[in-house]
Structure 1
Amino acid sequence: MQTSLSKKIYFASDQHFGAPTAELSFPREQKFVRWLDEVKQDAEAIFLLGDLFDFWFEYKTVVPKGFVRVLGKLAEIRDSGIPIYFFVGNHDLWMADYFEKELNIPTFRDNKEFTFGNKTFLIGHGDGKGPGDKGYKRMKKVFTAPFSKWLYRWLHPDIGMKLAQYLSVKNKLISGNEDVIYLGEDNEWLVLYAKRKLETKHYNYFVFGHRHLPMILDLGQNSEYVNLGDWIGYFTYGVFDGEKFELKEFIN
């Protein structure tokens, strides 16, 4: 996908609304809405790179309770004509078509290429990419299988939501490796993944979430790896102005 650039492109990831409880995550939700209000003033587009919710499951006629402020603000911004793109994360991987039908926000389940001006991007949540984390990769295949989703729908929402919210916090096989510890360039799986991709195609920016650790690393060849951090401890986001990519902290 290619687009010209006259304003700014904004990126955010890993809000995990609903964790550890709805009450405790509510101030973070309010802060994120303030951020959306600010960036909509000059946004060419907004990218949300997954794990907006700590858990999300769509029954045919039921979606999780809550999050009305965030969902309402996204609807308002999208209705104003600003494109919003959502990438499913490992905590909201059971998202179906709610965002697309209700909010007119396209939903992606894997990395996608974009071009802004003369810069090329590979964008995604980042879970299950690169070497390692094999337990999570196997579990993801199980969870995303159509039979698994069909089977889960037979649980009453009150039971299904409570069970999944518990597991999303407690089970690292579901969460994947999200520990906020820098492993070094030679051990960061997404950095290794980006370097491997550069062997076959050039990108100026690899932009991911999932790791909860804000960083920009120079990969050489006029290419950079970006991790957006999170909205739990860092409140960081990315902004591309057509020339350079920056990570910033929202402190409002």
Structure 2
Amino acid sequence: MPTFFASDFHLGVDARCSSRERELRIVRWLDHCVAEQAEAIYLVGDLFEFWFEWKRSVPRGYVRFLGKLAEITDRGIPIHVFTGNHDMWMEDYLPQETGVVLHRDPVVHTIYGKRVLIGHGDGLGPGDHGYKRLKKVMNAPWAKWLYGRLHPNLAMHLALFFSHQSRESQGPEAAFLGPEGEWLVAYCERKLAQDPALDYCIFGHRHIPIDFTLSNGSTRYLNLGEWLFECTYLRMDAESASLLRWTSHAPAPIAIGAGPDVAVNRKS
């Protein structure tokens, strides 16, 4: 029975299609995972463009997606959800209401006898010191308490506005930068030195599908890509791990480009 991995849905913002259309596509993909008799599903961060939980309210919308998560966990299929940089303020709502298992930091799980390092990827590896400082502040209890004092209408408007400004300033995601330029590759190499038994390192955040073999010649760094444009995900079973693209109602293989190990298929 296969295990599925996906990340960076960014529900709440329009891209190639509207957020509602993307939500329906994600629900169809989840139905496909169930039809494939999924062993487990890992949703590796940035499921929402922004998420905050007040004491008695949560962001409006996403009922089809959230309902599907609850339906799947009710069937006994575990779903692991990781916080990302856009939804780091998840608390207990999703675990209590949908039955998912919530992770705030990278974890190592044994899957089909393989040691698999899994995490969203933000703030890991060398560099990006400005964001690392900001993340420490945003994760502080006092910061969440202060933001929670805002009316939800204002809080959501501000968060989505600044998220849009940040996305516009960054421009499109760059192609694979090579092992020297990819911070997550450097992070995975460091973790591999600490745990030579790692077989896979699976992350999101980067927004391009990547399949790169680390320096030991066997451990694979796999980046899941995103669903704003390309709708890519990973299917793993006891024999292999393959990056695929979800095309409306069915999976499709991703053509490998930019070298023998790296899949880069972002379309502008």
TM-score, normalisation: structure 2: 0.87
> Who is 2:235 aligned against?
239
Q: Within 5 Å, give how 1:83-162 maps onto structure 2.
A: 83-162=78-157
Aligned pair partner of 1:77 in 72, 79, 82: 72
Shift of 1:176: 9.0
Residue identity matched to 1:61 = R
Mapped partners of 1:132, 1:153: distance in 2:
30
Residue 130 of structure 1 aligns to a residue whose secondary structure is coil
Structure 1, unaligned runs of 5 or more: 1-6
Mapped partners of 1:168, 1:181: distance in 2:
22
- Indicate how the Cα distance of structure 1 residues 8 and 50 shifts in structure 2: closer, same or farther if over 3 A, else same: same
Q: Percent identity at matched positions? A: 49
Mapped partners of 2:155, 2:60: distance in 1:
13
* Deviation sequence 1:110-161 (CA, Å, 0-9, x none): 0001001221100000000000111111111111100000001110011011
Residue identity matched to 2:48 = F
> Who is 2:220 aligned against?
224
Residue 143 of structure 2 aligns to a residue whose secondary structure is helix
Aligned pair partner of 1:19 in 4, 13, 16: 13
Residue 250 of structure 1 aligns to a residue whose secondary structure is strand
Mapped partners of 1:10, 1:135: distance in 2:
33
> Who is 1:37 aligned against?
31
Mapped partners of 1:114, 1:206: distance in 2:
11
Mapped partners of 1:200, 1:140: distance in 2:
25
Mapped partners of 1:48, 1:66: distance in 2:
18
User: Does the 8 Å CA contact 2:78/2:101 hold for their aligned counterparts?
Assistant: no
Structure 2, unaligned runs of 5 or more: 250-268
> How many residues are aligned here?
243
> Who is 1:4 aligned against?
none
Shift of 1:177: 10
Shift of 1:180: 3.9
* Deviation sequence 1:65-86 (CA, Å, 0-9, x none): 0000100111101101100000
